[in-house]
Structures are given as C-alpha cells and as structure tokens.
Amino acid sequence: MMTENTQLESKQYGRPDNERVIPFMKIAKPAAWLSIILTIASIFFIATKGLNLGLDFTGGVAAELNYANPVKPSEVTQALSDAGFNDAVVQTLGSERDLMVRMPVQEDLEAEDLTKAITTAVQLDNNTVTVPKVDVVGGQVGNELYIKSAGAVALALIIMLIYVTIRFEFKLAMGAVLSLFHDIVVTLGIFALMQWPFDLTVLAALLAIIGFSLNDNIVVSDRIRENFRKIRGAEPLEIINIALTETLRRTIHTSMTLLLVVVAMMIMGGDGLKWFSIAMFVGVFVGTYSSIYIGTAFALWRGLNRQDFIVQVKPEFEEEEEIPQ
C-alpha cells in the first residue's frame, strides 16, 4: 500500500482526478540491468563475429541493368553464376525491369572488359538488356568510407550532446547520448549476431534511428523541464513519471506511425529497402525503450532536480530590501 508521501494526489499537482500516473521509474533498475546486458552482449557479438560488411565498405562492382520486360532477381543471379560471377547480389530499383547488381571486385578484368562480360552474362531469352552504368569500388576506398561513416556517427552523437546541453540540461544531455549510443550498439549487435549485410542503406537507417530517438528524448525532456517549473511539492521521481505519462500517447502515435511505414517498406520495398527497413524496425523498438529507461532514468540517477531548471540570480543583481526609517 502506498503511503501519503509517495501517493500522487491529483489535487496537489493540479491534475484531473481521473488521470492516472504510470509509475515508469518503478522498474528503472531492472531496465538498467537489461540495457547493460544487451549492450555488453552486442559489443561481444560485434567484436567476435564482426559485421557482415557489404560491397560499399569492402569494395566491389556495382552495375545497373535495364530490361525490356520484367525479370526476377533470382534469374539474373543464376545467369551471373553460370557465367562465373559468384557471390553476386541482385536487387530491384523501383521496378522489376530495373535492377542493381553488386559483386566482389573482379581483379582479372579491366573496366571495359568487365562491362562487356557483365552485359553478355545477364542476357536472358526473349528479354533485351542494357547496362548503362558499371562502377568499380576498390577495397581501399571502401575502407575509407567505412572509417568516415563511423566518424559521421560519432560526430552526430557529439553534436546531439552539445544541442541538448544548451537547450535543456547536461544531465539530460548525457542521458540522451547514452540512449543514442545504446540504440546504435544494440542494432549493430543484432546485425552482427544474425550476420545480416551491413551496407550504406543500413548506415542511413542508423542515422535515422538517431534522429528518431533524439526526437523522443527532446519531447520528454521538454515536458520534464516544464513540470519541474510548474509543479510544486513533488519529488523528482514523481515529476518524471508525470512527464512520461503525459508524453506516452504522443510516443505511441509516433512509433506506431513509423512502424506502419517501415512494415510497408519491408513488404513492398523490394531488396533495395530490405535491410534499411529491418534496421529501422529494430531501431524503433530500441529507441522508444531507451528514451524512457536510459535517457530519463540516467538523469534521475544523476540527481536531476528543480534547481537544474531555475535560472540563478547572481548576488550583485539582487535587489536589497530598503527598511523604512
């Protein structure tokens, strides 16, 4: 049974009598341990199994194919395999007549010979094909791209830390960055565990996950700041629970709307959007969870209180009360 000190009284906090406050922080400690276990496990899988890097990072050949009639990617893959091009990945580009072929670097063929060889290999019966573009990415270029991508993610986290610190408070900023780091590591850990391909589309999904999770953190942080300023007589734990309850409906609507789009991409987007949508699907769940039980819980653990959101007046600017003689 809750005591008078811990019970949330709607009259005291100016809330309607029928509005219930969900005690999110009641399971903050178990959620923290779950987050730590997931993060450690993800780092372990990334370190031991490694990411299944795509040709964008390892180097390879990318060719665009335009067929006169619709064609299945499996047919093109089989045709390339019969011609000696192994490990080819064929994806549709918006329609069943436009395809993209990715394969490892063919060191024994020059650029012109490679274009001719690919054009010959992908010829199908009763279906004319043209190869308008063939790009060759070397392994060194792919490695540089991989390093720059990691730098881009790190720079994004640093900028987020600075932004949230300026707009809200450093404790909330640290919690937001930790939640973003958690989202990225867990998503990468799942990709490493399942050995799903990691290419530029997945990297784009990671940056989108950062934006989605940060948006959740900012909405919650803004409500926490507002409640700390207007609610008197409540403990920080109670104020945070109120803020999370008030933003819950908005969080659910945002997450469900994004999930509908992601599921639609998974079903109808074809191979070109497959891994992007899978990464986003994972990130939506992880990001929604982390904005509550990592970003907010960390700030509470660091001692977030009302004084953090009140502008302190310097002594030299305080007016002295004049005592009448």
Domain residue spans in the chain? 24-52+142-308, 60-137
For 253-311, the pLDDT digits (tens) are 999 999 999 999 888 877 778 889 999 999 999 988 998 899 899 988 988 887 777 65
Measured CA to CA in angstroms, residue 202 lies from 18, 93, 180, 187, 260 at distances of 44, 17, 16, 10, 19
What's the confidence (pLDDT) of residue 115?
A: 83
Question: How far apart are the C-alpha atoms of 298 and 176, rounded to whole Å?
Answer: 9
Interatomic CA distance for residues 239 and 10, integer angstroms: 12
How much is the pLDDT for 191? Answer: 94
Q: Which two tokens stand for residue 181?
A: 């780091």
Is residue 123 predicted with pLDDT exceeding 80?
yes
* Selected residue with higher pLDDT from 10 and 112: 112
pLDDT, average across residues 128-139: 80
Statement: residue 322 has pLDDT above 90: no
Average pLDDT for 105-133: 80
Please give the mean pLDDT across all residues of the chain: 82
Per-residue confidence band for 10, with pLDDT thresholds at 50, 70 and 90: very low
| The pLDDT of residue 1 | 38
Query: What span, in angstroms and rounded, lies between the C-alpha atoms of 2 and 17?
Result: 17
For the chain, the three-class secondary structure string (H helix, E strand, C coil) is: CCCCCCCCCCCCCCCCCCCCCCCHHHHHHHHHHHHHHHHHHHHHHHHHCCCEECHHHHCEEEEEEEECCCCCHHHHHHHHHHCCCCCCEEEECCCCCEEEEEECCCCCCCHHHHHHHHHHHCCECCECEEEEEEEEECHHHHHHHHHHHHHHHHHHHHHHHHHHHHHCCHHHHHHHHHHHHHHHHHHHHHHHHHCCEECHHHHHHHHHHHHHHHHHHHHHHHHHHHHHHHCCCCCHHHHHHHHHHHHHHHHHHHHHHHHHHHHHHHHHCCHHHHHHHHHHHHHHHHHHHHHHHHHHHHHHHCCCCHHHHCCCCCHHHCCCCCCCC
**Is a pLDDT exceeding 50 seen at residue 6?**
no
For the stretch 188-244, pLDDT in tens is 999 999 989 888 889 889 988 988 888 888 888 888 888 888 887 788 888 899 999
**Arithmetic mean of pLDDT, 148-173:** 82
What is the reported pTM?
Answer: 0.77
Please check the confidence at residue 89 and state whether its pLDDT lies above 90. no
CATH code: domain 60-137 is: 3.30.70.3400
* Better pLDDT: 15 or 286: 286
Q: How many CB atoms lie within 10 A of CB 300?
A: 20
Among 69-78, 122-131, 161-170, the range scoring the smallest mean pLDDT is 161-170
131 pLDDT exceeds 60? yes
Range 24-52+142-308 has CATH code 1.20.1640.10: yes
Average pLDDT over residues 55-59: 76
87: left (phi over 0), alpha (psi -120 to 50) or beta: left
Looking at the chain, the whole-number percentage of residues with pLDDT higher than 90 is 20
